Structure 1
């Protein structure tokens, strides 16, 4: 079969077929009397082998080695191609994410776009100090897309950089809460924790609603962050989690202070006192828990709390009795 017919049937151009011949990849078996290339059935089969390997991303040099090497194993080649393709796709996805982020800043002109590019480079730095500097070096009147900050805050492990990102996200406004709220539903507890801490720094009813949702989180740390933030916003739904923090000894002092602030509402005060009394009754043998509950009672702006402290001043646990007596005296003086 002559070269023109081979090109028509195979879809490989005559120019490429001549290139294959010059490289020694596919040399026609014969020549006509006039000197034209004449391909046999085996030659055409080899052309399709070459094209198949090209479609997998191999260079012509790699294809030549693969076809000539008797020890060539397709499985090793395919495995290497998979790894290289995955790396390329990852790089291209990162590029696509950067382009989309920059596109989101297009209404603010090139200055805004370049600021986003600068921030992207900074946030991708392996050095925490460089990432923090990138966040804390804003350009006046050039807003940064909340989506970019939200993505960064959900993946940042350094506490200082994370704090800077939360600050910047709270200032960014816009869809900050929406952008980071997806992290509250992540399967990764660390991501949920970062999301709750970020939302805790944002004002508004939407942020409060997400914090209340996080009170049901299965992770104790996530629940604790959500309870403290929601309680400071006056959300009484945080009371059970805050009382549990006192019992467990997790940020118990801060949790007691938030409970004291919530107790300024008479209806909530009754609920809090009932919960604290119930925990005292349930932990008659645990001195550490009873001490923390006693200290929490001192934060309650209620006459009833002082009455309970006076009763605890006669507790069988001497440490509890001494602390309750001292706290009751301080409250009486106030």
Structure 2
């Protein structure tokens, strides 16, 4: 069944009330009309509410991948960080490996996995791990470990989870960073190594323990 274009529904995506925007995104996703693609992409760039953004992503996953993937990939070149992070998040949910070349560090460098914006880079870590073909896991792991030591504890936890999700057969890539000159990198590598051994262990506890080990090691070399 084809639904007539409902201008009120489109207008509601920019309503001041987030609940109205949420309901509008849900309704648009339910009808799943390809002609709504442009307005959904545009709203993703500016939507301030997390739950509405998640509903926009759901609505986009309901549309034909042949239409959405090229548009989402184009958003990766945006000057707006939210447009990039939301596109990465949505591509990971669509789950189509055709998007992989657009984020593969071997092809585009570290523009995404080392992006200066926190939300963009965390989305990039999750998306690359979700879409990487099996034969490219090692290369991706080697690229991701270059970011060890970056950011606060939540950011470091996100990176560790991404690396661990690539598979325990790649733990040697993390081991190479256990002897890094930077104390923060070494501690983060140790905590990530512990997550390989015990994925259910608390990251904060593992990181604190690793920092103590690194500090003791530094003292003995003074």
Residues in 2 aligned to 1:118 and 1:172: alpha-carbon distance in whole angstroms? 20
- Asked if 1:224 is matched to 2:119, the reply is no
Q: CA deviation at 1:248?
A: 1.1
Structure 1 residues 128-147: aligned runs within 5 Å: 128-138=18-28, 143-144=33-34, 145-147=36-38
CA shift in 2, pair 1:133/1:141, >3 Å: closer
Q: CA deviation at 1:319?
A: 9.2
- Asked if 1:190 is matched to 2:44, the reply is no
Residues in 2 aligned to 1:318 and 1:189: alpha-carbon distance in whole angstroms? 40
How does the TM-score come out when normalised to structure 1? Answer: 0.49
Residues in 2 aligned to 1:210 and 1:193: alpha-carbon distance in whole angstroms? 14
Residues in 2 aligned to 1:227 and 1:140: alpha-carbon distance in whole angstroms? 29
Q: Which residue of 1 aligns with 2:156?
A: 252
Unmatched segments (≥5 aa) in structure 1 = 1-107, 302-311, 321-334
- Asked if 1:295 is matched to 2:187, the reply is no
Residues in 2 aligned to 1:122 and 1:291: alpha-carbon distance in whole angstroms? 48
Unmatched segments (≥5 aa) in structure 2 = 198-209
Q: Which residue of 2 aligns with 1:30?
A: none
Whether the 8 Å contact between 2:32 and 2:63 is mirrored in structure 1 is no
How does the TM-score come out when normalised to structure 2? Answer: 0.69
CA shift in 2, pair 1:231/1:207, >3 Å: same
Two-structure CA RMSD over aligned residues (Å): 3.2
Q: CA deviation at 1:187?
A: 2.3
- Asked if 1:124 is matched to 2:14, the reply is yes
Structure 1 residues 312-327: aligned runs within 5 Å: 317-318=215-216
Q: Number of residue pairs matched?
A: 191
Deviation readout 1:164-214 (Å, 9 max, x if unpaired): 101111122241112222211112333222222222221212223333258
Q: Which residue of 2 aligns with 1:273?
A: 172
Which of the two has higher C-alpha Rg? Answer: 1
Question: Equivalent residue of 2:187, what SS?
Answer: helix
Residues in 2 aligned to 1:119 and 1:166: alpha-carbon distance in whole angstroms? 17
Residues in 2 aligned to 1:195 and 1:210: alpha-carbon distance in whole angstroms? 11
Question: Equivalent residue of 2:4, what SS?
Answer: helix
CA shift in 2, pair 1:119/1:208, >3 Å: farther
CA shift in 2, pair 1:278/1:141, >3 Å: closer
